[in-house]
Amino acid sequence: MDREARRLLDEYRQNEADPVENALFDDLAAGELTRLDFLQRGTVLGLSATTLGAALGALGHAPLALGATSHVGQAGGRLRVGIIPAPVGDLEPHLFKDHGRLVTGSICGEFLTKSRQNGTLAPELAVSWKRNADATQWAFNLRRGVKFANGKPFTADDVVATFNRLTDPNGGSEALSAFKGVLSPGGAKKVGDYTVVFTLEAPNANFPYLTSSTTYQAIILPSNYTLGSFAKGRQTTGPFNLVSYTPGVGARFERNAQWWGGRALLDGVDVTYYSEDAAAVAGLLGGQIDMMSQISFTSGKALFKSPKVQIFSAPSAGHRQISMLTSTVAANKALKDRRVRQAIALSLDRPQLVKQLFNGFAEVGNDGGPLSPSIHVVADKSVPARKQDLVQAKKLLAQAGYPRGFKETLTAPIFQEIPQLAQIVSASVKKIGIEMPLNLITYTAYYAGTYSGGATGRGTNPWLNSPIDITDWAHRAVPNVVLTSAFVTGGPWNAAAYSNKKVDGLIKSFNGAVAIKDQKKYIAQIMRILQNDTPVIFPYFFKWVLAGSTRVKGFQADALGMLFLGKTSVR
Amino acid sequence: MSGRWSTQRPDAPQTGAQIYRFLLKRLGYALITLFILSVLVFASASLLPGDIGRNILGGLASERDVAIFNHNAGVDRPIVVQYLDWISGFVRGDLGTSLQYNVPVSSLLGPAFINSLKLAAVAFVLVVPLSILGGLVAGLRRGSLTDRAITITGISFTAIPEFVTAIVLILVLGLWLGWLPVSATAPEGSNVATQIEYLLLPSFALVLILFGYIARITRASVIESVDADYTRTAYLKGLTSRQVVGGHVLRNSLLPTIAVVATQVGYLIGGLLVIEKLFNYNGIGLRIYTAAQNKDYTMLQSGVLLVGVVYLVATLVADVLYSVLNPRIRYGSAE
């Protein structure tokens, strides 16, 4: 045990720590938290690196190394990146909702905090943060000496303006999926040039995550930013400046000489947008690009075998949801029965799915909600895994009154591996007598239509109105947003039309719980109820996988596929 | 000679007025066709199901935002007003603003169109002489092993889907042998030679696709010309084979080839979606495809109409060339 660390920890516990923080140290000491669990939670609570390091040293754990990327390369050269697919729509941060845009923005943009590959939070434009006792207010101290590429110094005014735009209900902000019900316009207040206080609508112990790179719209822009000027460049604080952008074709970034993080190793980054996986794969193998922003296992097999290519991956909570309408007039009568939904879930051979669709770059899901075992500290790993059991599935169908099965169409978007997943689901349920023809539609069509009105009040879009469908969900460092939007009664993305008052209450309690023990307690109950009710099947949580040439060094993959290239080199 | 032109008057006198009348008539037809095309393009894009504002902003946008978007985009006006506004803008070179990217359509379609022209030019320069030569050799050696080899190879490549041809070329010439770049877009600031180098692989794919078709037409015309009375007469006059082929056979057999090539110009500029996707080339085909996918109606309408203009101009040029090479046509048409 490290004496100096013990002294620092004791000093902090006596003078500064609140009960929640003390409970965190106790849990680590008692072995109830792993080292990583402790770091994830500690960084969200805003514990400084000194305190975290002192606690680890004092309690006999490995010293602090917050996933820093090693600097192995030499300065110079340009990185040629292929992004698939191209940005859809305006390159306007608060409107970001697709891969092309968020990746492009990540090369130059920065956030208050940064979500690391291991799930911990790191300071970025904020250097520290602290909450009040019930987590309804969070104060962020900002980094000094930062300048935007246009020369404007970074201050609290920029943070307030950015968050007002992100939370404006009339501005089309896509960040409302994270901030609705959490933060209103005017909720961020400047209390000094370098301090901002966020006053929340309800307690939220995970709020710092919402200010991080996982809310990819939350790039901090200057207070005098005018809409439409992001694509013209020089509006960000990151290691590279956007200097040219041609929609659908590419973008060019140059090193930001005044970056607060030091001198980026690369001279610049040249982005080429691709519409076809095969073209990007050929581009990487043929040496015309150095990196592909994402790869699929169906079209990217050649990359795994090539000696010229290295594969980067990051654990992620990204997943697919197979939602079954549990109520509303559009629902299939059979699917309203919990036993039928359980039977469908039991028909899937999940380890085989992971192997077949992801070549092992995924982990099996367990139908207990959007809780990734390797990402979410609060996930209850004691919930029994749901395994394929065709005998039990048939028994459940018979008990529900469908011994010979039934027929229902499975709707799914043509996106990444989803069509193959749909085919496997259809083939799996056939083994228990359910006929499930497929309705595979374009990604745009899947989300098209209205989201309110009509007979069900759920509009006309296929996603919320198909009796059974498959939806793509991106990585979230904490499960709050997905739980609230997809499992609370009336949630905007509740594709199963699921309604369970007990679950509603538990989710509300979870969102407000500050202590990790309390969060785990609520999540354990939520997971068990959701697994039993099975409104949604979670077949797997996949890793983010991308590929680069072997000359790329110092790069670490991000769970959302964002490209943080400040320490990357090609020499 | 065959009776293909039997309704026309080979003995009619040539005058400037007749040529002028012929060209005017062709131009008139082209403009009428273009007008009909513009109405069809506009109507088909405008009448697609769904609210434009809703499609662009997504399902979660408020009704108010959708209404504001539609008003700003001008799609809440009567459809005739919208059409007249669009078509008058198109004629003036103002193609409107892209709904998807919120930038002028011309700033996206312009470079894409130029790129398409570049690729079409390289492919054209390769495929036309090669196909004519292939067709000529096959026609002159009718029934020989050479004829069969050229014909069967050409037809085989034409029958293979273009994505297969393109992928095989990428694999063999681009990745295995490493002779040519696998993307068609040269790095920014490249000189002409480098740009051509980058365009070679997609152009080879187009050569394989079009060679069989053009060569077959040329071959048939060559055979017809070889059998014609004037060829026999030329031989009887004592001309050498080279003189007969160059001065009579080739010149006469080029007529149908020109018609076929003209129709392919439109395809080479606006119809190369698969090639553009596989070689990641920012051409007009890919722009139109992306616009259709993302319901960017302003870009879609202008893109399709632009390709329509290309088709009509190519056909018009072919008509003029045809009439220059064969006076009987212009008199027949001008009547």
Query: Mutation test of the interface with chain B: which of A78, A104, A275, choosing the one with the most B Cβ atoms within 10 A?
Result: A275
A339 with A292, same domain: the answer is: no
A205 with A245, same domain: the answer is: no
Q: Which residue of B has its CA nearest to A493?
A: B60
Interatomic CA distance for residues B100 and B102, integer angstroms: 6
Q: Which residues of chain A neighbour B183 with C-beta distances below 8 Å?
A: 272, 279, 282-283, 286, 288
Q: Highest mean pLDDT range out of A450-459, B23-32, B255-264, B272-281?
A: B272-281
Spatial neighbors of B243 by CB under 8 A, at least 6 apart, are B234
Q: What is the mean pLDDT of residues A441-446?
A: 83
Interatomic CA distance for residues A125 and A128, integer angstroms: 9
Name which of B111, B175, B289 is nearest A282 (Cβ-Cβ): B175
Tell me, yes or no, whether A105 lies in a domain.
yes
pLDDT on residue B49:
64
- Break chain B down into helix, strand, coil percent, rounded to 5: 75, 0, 25
CATH number where A475 lies: 3.10.105.10
pLDDT on residue B215:
93
Q: Which amino acid is at A529?
A: I
List A114's β-bridge partners, or say none. Answer: A122
Name the domain count of chain A: 4
Identify the residue with better confidence: A142 or A27.
A142
A247:B98 CB<8 A:
yes
Query: Mutation test of the interface with chain B: which of A450, A461, A494, choosing the one with the most B Cβ atoms within 10 A?
Result: A450
Q: Which residues of chain A neighbour B100 with C-beta distances below 8 Å?
A: 88-89, 247
User: What is the separation of C-alpha A334 from the centre of its chain, rounded to a whole number of angstroms?
Assistant: 33
A342 with A385, same domain: the answer is: yes
Dihedral sign of CA atoms A171, A174, A175, A181 in order: positive
Q: Which residues of chain B neighbour A459 with C-beta distances below 8 Å?
A: 59
pLDDT on residue A58:
85
Name which of A228, A279, A449 is nearest B59 (Cβ-Cβ): A449
Interatomic CA distance for residues B173 and A529, integer angstroms: 58
Band of residue B303 on the pLDDT scale cut at 50, 70, 90: very high
pLDDT on residue A330:
67
Specify the DSSP class assigned to residue B170: I
Band of residue A223 on the pLDDT scale cut at 50, 70, 90: very high
DSSP state string for A192-257? ETTEEEEEPSS--TTHHHHTBTTSTT-----TT--TT-GGGS----SSEEEEEEETTTEEEEEE-T
Q: Which residues of chain B neighbour A228 with C-beta distances below 8 Å?
A: 102
Interatomic CA distance for residues A349 and A537, integer angstroms: 12
Specify the DSSP class assigned to residue A334: G
Among the residue ranges A84-93, B39-48, B112-121, the one predicted with the least confidence is B39-48
Whether the pLDDT of residue B323 is over 50: the answer is yes
Q: Which residues of chain B neighbour A180 with C-beta distances below 8 Å?
A: none
Interface subset of A 63-122, CB within 8 angstroms of B: 86, 88-90, 97
Helix (H, G, I), strand (E, B) or coil at B296: coil
Name which of B58, B278, B295 is nearest A276 (Cβ-Cβ): B278
Give how far B86 is from chain A: nearest CA, Å: 22
Whether the pLDDT of residue B5 is over 80: the answer is no
- Residue A244: count of CB within 10 angstroms of its CB: 15
Q: Report CA-CA distances (Å) from B319 to B121, B125, B306, B322.
A: 20, 20, 20, 5
User: What is the separation of C-alpha A493 from the centre of its chain, rounded to a whole number of angstroms?
Assistant: 16
pLDDT on residue B170:
94
Range of A341's domain?
Answer: 315-543
Among the residue ranges B199-203, B274-278, B322-326, the one predicted with the least confidence is B322-326
Tell me, yes or no, whether A102 lies in a domain.
yes
The phi and psi torsions of A471 (rounded to 5 degrees) equal -125, 145
Name which of A228, A246, A286 is nearest B175 (Cβ-Cβ): A286
A283:B62 CB<8 A:
no
Name which of B101, B175, B178 is nearest A247 (Cβ-Cβ): B101
Asked if A274 and B184 count as a contact pair (C-beta separation under 8 A), the reply is no
pLDDT on residue A296:
80
Name which of A248, A285, A448 is nearest B282 (Cβ-Cβ): A248
A276 lies within 8 A of chain B by CB: yes
pLDDT tens digits for range A304-319: 889 999 999 998 999 9
B100:A280 CB<8 A:
no
A321 with A442, same domain: the answer is: yes
Mean pLDDT of chain B: 85
A89:B100 CB<8 A:
yes
Interface subset of A 234-273, CB within 8 angstroms of B: 246-249, 252, 270, 272
A418 with A501, same domain: the answer is: yes
Q: Which residues of chain A neighbour B64 with C-beta distances below 8 Å?
A: 170
Tell me, yes or no, whether A87 lies in a domain.
no
Domain finish residue from A214, A230, A246? A230
A399 with A481, same domain: the answer is: yes
Q: Which residues of chain A neighbour B175 with C-beta distances below 8 Å?
A: 282, 285-286
Strand pairing class (A126-131; A309-314): unpaired
Tell me, yes or no, whether A68 lies in a domain.
no
List A548's β-bridge partners, or say none. Answer: A291, A310
Q: What is the mean pLDDT of residues A237-259?
A: 95
pLDDT on residue B60:
61
Asked if A405 and A397 count as a contact pair (C-beta separation under 8 A), the reply is yes
Question: Which tokens sit at B189?
Answer: 């600031």
Band of residue B180 on the pLDDT scale cut at 50, 70, 90: very high
Q: Which residue of B has its CA nearest to A86?
A: B290
Q: Which residues of chain B neighbour A461 with C-beta distances below 8 Å?
A: 59
Asked if B120 and B268 count as a contact pair (C-beta separation under 8 A), the reply is yes
Enclosing H/E stretch for A535: none
Residues of B near A (Cβ–Cβ under 8 Å) read: 50, 54-62, 64-65, 98, 100-103, 108, 111, 167, 170, 174-175, 178, 181-183, 185, 188, 277-280, 282, 286-287, 289-290, 293-295
Band of residue A104 on the pLDDT scale cut at 50, 70, 90: very high
Q: Which residues of chain B neighbour A173 with C-beta distances below 8 Å?
A: none
A141 with A252, same domain: the answer is: no
Name which of A169, A228, A451 is nearest B102 (Cβ-Cβ): A228
Q: Which residue of B has its CA nearest to A170?
A: B65
Whether the pLDDT of residue A149 is over 90: the answer is yes
Band of residue A537 on the pLDDT scale cut at 50, 70, 90: very high
Q: Report CA-CA distances (Å) from B317 to A282, B11, B25, B321.
A: 38, 24, 13, 6
- Residue A401: count of CB within 10 angstroms of its CB: 12
pLDDT tens digits for range B211-267: 999 999 999 989 988 888 888 888 888 888 888 888 788 878 888 888 888 878 888
A531 with A400, same domain: the answer is: yes
A241 with A296, same domain: the answer is: yes
Among the residue ranges A266-280, A447-461, B12-26, B93-107, the one predicted with the least confidence is B12-26
Whether the pLDDT of residue A68 is over 70: the answer is no
pLDDT on residue B104:
93
CATH number where A153 lies: 3.90.76.10
A470 with A492, same domain: the answer is: yes
Name which of A176, A276, A461 is nearest B277 (Cβ-Cβ): A276
Count Cβ–Cβ pairs < 8 Å, chain A vs chain B.
Answer: 101
A325 with A306, same domain: the answer is: no
Question: Which tokens sit at B81?
Answer: 């007003």
Look-up of token digits 């010979």: A404
Tell me, yes or no, whether A398 lies in a domain.
yes
- Break chain A down into helix, strand, coil percent, rounded to 5: 35, 20, 50
Identify the residue with better confidence: B271 or A547.
A547
A89:B188 CB<8 A:
no
Identify the residue with better confidence: A469 or A481.
A469
Strand pairing class (A240-246; A113-115): unpaired
Name which of A270, A279, A459 is nearest B280 (Cβ-Cβ): A279
Q: Rounded to the nearest 5 degrees, what angle is found at the Cα of A111, between the Cα atoms of A108 and A112?
A: 150
pLDDT tens digits for range A320-376: 999 999 987 667 889 999 999 999 999 999 999 999 998 888 999 989 999 998 888
To 10 degrees, the CA torsion angle through A189, A191, A196, A199? Answer: -50
Tell me, yes or no, whether A39 lies in a domain.
yes
User: What is the separation of C-alpha A112 from the centre of its chain, rounded to a whole number of angstroms?
Assistant: 16
Whether the pLDDT of residue A455 is over 80: the answer is no
Q: A134, A126, A94, A98: which is closest to A212 by C-alpha?
A: A126
CATH number where A240 lies: 3.40.190.10
Q: Which residues of chain A neighbour B59 with C-beta distances below 8 Å?
A: 447-451, 459, 461
- Residue A490: count of CB within 10 angstroms of its CB: 10
A88:B100 CB<8 A:
yes
pLDDT on residue B275:
93
Q: What is the mean pLDDT of residues B302-317?
A: 89
Question: Which tokens sit at B314?
Answer: 């190519």
pLDDT on residue B27:
87
Asked if B138 and B151 count as a contact pair (C-beta separation under 8 A), the reply is yes
Q: Report CA-CA distances (Å) from A82 to A268, A474, B52.
A: 14, 20, 30
- Residue A559: count of CB within 10 angstroms of its CB: 25
Tell me, yes or no, whether A200 lies in a domain.
yes
Q: A232, A81, A288, A274: which is closest to B282 by C-alpha?
A: A274
A283:B183 CB<8 A:
yes
A373 with A418, same domain: the answer is: yes
B278:A288 CB<8 A:
no
List B291's β-bridge partners, or say none. Answer: none
A170 lies within 8 A of chain B by CB: yes
State yes or no: ipTM above 0.85. Answer: no
Mean pLDDT of chain A: 91
Band of residue B329 on the pLDDT scale cut at 50, 70, 90: low
Q: Which residues of chain B neighbour A444 with C-beta distances below 8 Å?
A: 55, 293-295
Q: Which amino acid is at B295?
A: K
Name which of B55, B61, B170 is nearest A172 (Cβ-Cβ): B61
Give how far A199 is from chain B: nearest CA, Å: 25
Tell me, yes or no, whether A70 lies in a domain.
no
Domain finish residue from A201, A230, A259? A230
Domain finish residue from A198, A230, A262? A230
